[in-house]
Structure 1
Amino acid sequence: MENNKSPVILSGIRPTGEIHLGNYFGAIQYFVKLQEQGHQCFYFVADLHALTTAMEDHIDVDKNSVEVVRWYLACGLDSNKSTIYRQSDILEIPFFNLLLGMITPEGELRRCTTYKDKVADMEGKRKMVSLGLLAYPVLMASDILFCNADIVPVGEDQLQHLEIAREIARKYNHHFSKKHKFTEPRSHLVEAVRVPGLKGEGKMSKSVGGPDNVIYLNDAPKEIKRKVMAAQTDLGPVAGEPMTESMKGIYKLLELCAPKAVYEDYLGRYERAEQRFYGDLKKELAKNILELVEPIQQRYQSPDCSVERVKALLAESAAKVRPIAKTNLRNMLDDMNFKHLAQTYN
């Protein structure tokens, strides 16, 4: 890994539910773009991270993890170009997490903005706040550092976590590094693609506006049409008035899914304050969403994306990735004076 001239790019998705357009435009589409640029990409299913809410939300982590990889492949990730693996298959990662946690200040974790926001939300819903949620950045650091990833694509909300990973790497290198030295990962700020929901209630999320707020990649054509035609709108554009929030969501979806000319045509209609065209607008939006998801659904149903193929792929990927983790953990254990363990970790 460290001798490879090509930088290692690493990112992942938590398997907490069905994949929807928000996941596609917010992450997976970008993963495919990086892959096609010839980078050395490591994409994983963050199933250990899902445990922060799995008990409270009754998540079937194993089943969901396989489904995420099926959709990864259906959306264009290529196992011949990218390394696609499951976090929990790399048994060394929890050990990295334990060791790195010992050099991470607890106060720094409590100051994380995302942690404080999550706690407020979960306590409001009377959900348990676990130690795993507090230590989420340490596990994220373990995901990054176990393979010495060079670049981590993140949104602004994850920059604080990435900086913690950099600080952990610096602290380890200063106090322990002899056989092993961690690479300080660089951020690759992903332009935030905020995919709006259909109910005019913020981002596309089932937890925000229910299932009708979301277009899932596995939704049937009739279901997609029904959801789009039921999407929230206003009473019609008013000359000289700014676009309403509900219509901003409709137009953002159209911009993401439709050709530029189609988007600009309907935008012009709104700006000219034309009336009674929302029905046509929704039909056009539904049509373009279908044109986007139908090829993905066809690939999802193909043998290359079957459950059996994905399970075999995950086994192959674990066999490829674990030796990297073993080598780095062995050297790390030696550096931290657990030489008896290092000698047995081959």
Structure 2
Amino acid sequence: MSSPSRRVLSGMRPTGGLHLGHWRGVLHNWRALQEAGNECFFFIADWHALTTDYANPGDLFVNTREMVLSWLSAGLDPQKTTMFRQSDVPAHAELFVLLSMICPLPWLMHLPTYKEQKEALQRDLDTHGFLGYPLLQSADIMIYGADCVPVGEDQVPHVEFTRDIARRFNRFYGNTEDFQSKLMVTKKSLSVDVQTAIETYQKDYQQNGNKQALDDAVSLIDELVVEENTKQLLRDDVRYGGQEVLRVPQAMLTQAPRLPGTDGRKMSKSYGNTIDLTDVPEAVEKKIARMQTDPARVRRSDKGEPTRCPVWSLHRVFSDMDTQNGVAESCRSAAIGCVDCKKRLSAAVNDDLEPLRERRAAVDKTGIVEDILADGALRAAKSAEQTMQEVRRFMHLVS
């Protein structure tokens, strides 16, 4: 049996060209989610880029176009996936402002990435935009009612923050007179024992943060022999004390290989050690040729140990098993030198990138990037406006 379709949301900052780490990490996962039939929203996070690079926005437009070309070359399909530019959907900013009214400052300041990025980037980030960027992320996610957000482990705290903001919003604004009247009728139809059990679990969860109590309450509700809309009413009451106006998303942990760059450190644009998706075969060969290898293998006749070698780490991702086995055995016996090992890796990487190069060249000739973004923005805006209509209504901004 196939799994049900989910709504998935993710984005990338247009801060420069994409590299092998993006390809074998994020883009592989995005394409798999797309091909699995999920409803995917993938966006260019240009406002997020300004939270750290506000003083140098000159490359945003060019980087955006290059990023979309890389997405298309990686197999993302605008007929299956909504691709758009964040700033083309102003409703993101509206929801961000409204959420800021209920967001406690300590929640933002205590996020682990806040201090980490300030220390790592070494620039003036004492701005409202940088402090609030996790809340903007929350708006990005919740405005589309995303079920899942594909992230690595380092981004899980941001999804948890989003979940907390959604619950806080729902508790403030979902507890309407209409909801309470329906809830009262529903509870009267339950036995006293069931009412007592649900209320006990609810108190434990809402007052003490006991998530097991929430799970127990939901399990009890799911077992009731009542209509589904009645069950949903009870679930919303336990979780939020009101209706679920904003969807509470789940983090979707994605597996991505940690690729070393040409200097042995993690492949990163900030280190200048990347092999880029736009590199021609000769550039790939030159970059791999100067990669660090096993530091214990000084001479050609020295036996090496692949597990100490960054080149081997890339072999494990891009080379087939026969090549991997041959390289490992020959390295340990000194049957081949590092030059030959790197040539085999270059061939494997170029073989992997060739389909991307061909797709990119074909798409680039058509000049359809702006058309794709414009169409994606229309579809995204339609979905975002549905959420905002509900948000405005529950916050009494409209009659």
TM-score scaled by structure 2?
A: 0.77
Task: Go from structure 1 to structure 2 and tell me whether the alpha carbon gap of 1:250 and 1:241 turns closer, same or farther (over 3 Å shift).
Answer: closer
C-alpha distance after superposition, 1:48-74 (max 9, x if no partner): 111112234555112211211111011
C-alpha distance after superposition, 1:318-346 (max 9, x if no partner): 11111111121122112112116xxxxxx
For residues 56-67 of structure 1, the aligned pairs below 5 Å read: 56-67=55-66
Match of 1:206 in 2: 269
Match of 2:36 in 1: 37
Q: Is the 8 A contact 2:26 2:256 kept in 1?
A: no
Distance apart, 1:242 and its partner CA: 8.0
Q: Is the 8 A contact 1:153 1:187 kept in 2?
A: yes
CA distance in 2, matches of 1:306, 1:67: 13
**Which of residues 279, 297, 318 in structure 1 aligns to 2:357?**
297
CA distance in 2, matches of 1:275, 1:236: 13
CA distance in 2, matches of 1:110, 1:150: 26
Distance apart, 1:129 and its partner CA: 3.5
For residues 1-346 of structure 1, the aligned pairs below 5 Å read: 6-122=5-121, 125-177=122-174, 181-200=245-264, 202-208=265-271, 210=272, 213-233=273-293, 234-236=295-297, 243-244=307-308, 247=309, 249-270=310-331, 272-274=332-334, 276-302=336-362, 304-306=363-365, 308-339=367-398
CA distance in 1, matches of 2:89, 2:17: 24
Q: Is the 8 A contact 2:146 2:247 kept in 1?
A: yes
Q: Is the 8 A contact 2:24 2:256 kept in 1?
A: no
C-alpha distance after superposition, 1:190-227 (max 9, x if no partner): 12421110112x2111322x2xx211111122111111
Identity %: 34
The one-letter code of the counterpart of 1:168 is I
SS at match of 2:54: helix
SS at match of 2:42: strand
SS at match of 2:78: coil
Q: Is the 8 A contact 1:236 1:276 kept in 2?
A: no
Distance apart, 1:235 and its partner CA: 4.6
Q: Is the 8 A contact 1:109 1:137 kept in 2?
A: yes
SS at match of 1:103: coil
C-alpha distance after superposition, 1:109-161 (max 9, x if no partner): 11111111011123xx3444422221111011011100100011111111100
Q: Is the 8 A contact 1:74 1:305 kept in 2?
A: no
Q: Is the 8 A contact 2:297 2:303 kept in 1?
A: no
SS at match of 2:37: coil
- Structure 2: segments with no counterpart, 5+ residues: 177-242
CA distance in 2, matches of 1:140, 1:268: 47
Distance apart, 1:269 and its partner CA: 2.6
- Structure 1: segments with no counterpart, 5+ residues: 341-346
CA distance in 2, matches of 1:278, 1:189: 36
Deviates more, 1:150-159 or 1:46-55: 46-55
C-alpha distance after superposition, 1:23-78 (max 9, x if no partner): 11120111111111111111111111111122345551122112111110111011
Task: Go from structure 1 to structure 2 and tell me whether the alpha carbon gap of 1:180 and 1:335 turns closer, same or farther (over 3 Å shift).
Answer: farther
CA distance in 2, matches of 1:78, 1:33: 12
Distance apart, 1:256 and its partner CA: 1.3
C-alpha distance after superposition, 1:292-324 (max 9, x if no partner): 11221121111x345730101111111111111
SS at match of 1:301: helix
How many residues align? The count is: 325
Q: Is the 8 A contact 2:50 2:57 kept in 1?
A: no
SS at match of 1:339: coil
The one-letter code of the counterpart of 2:23 is Y
CA distance in 2, matches of 1:239, 1:279: 14
TM-score scaled by structure 1?
A: 0.88
C-alpha distance after superposition, 1:260-298 (max 9, x if no partner): 22112212233x342542111100111111111122112
CA distance in 1, matches of 2:171, 2:307: 54
CA distance in 1, matches of 2:153, 2:338: 34
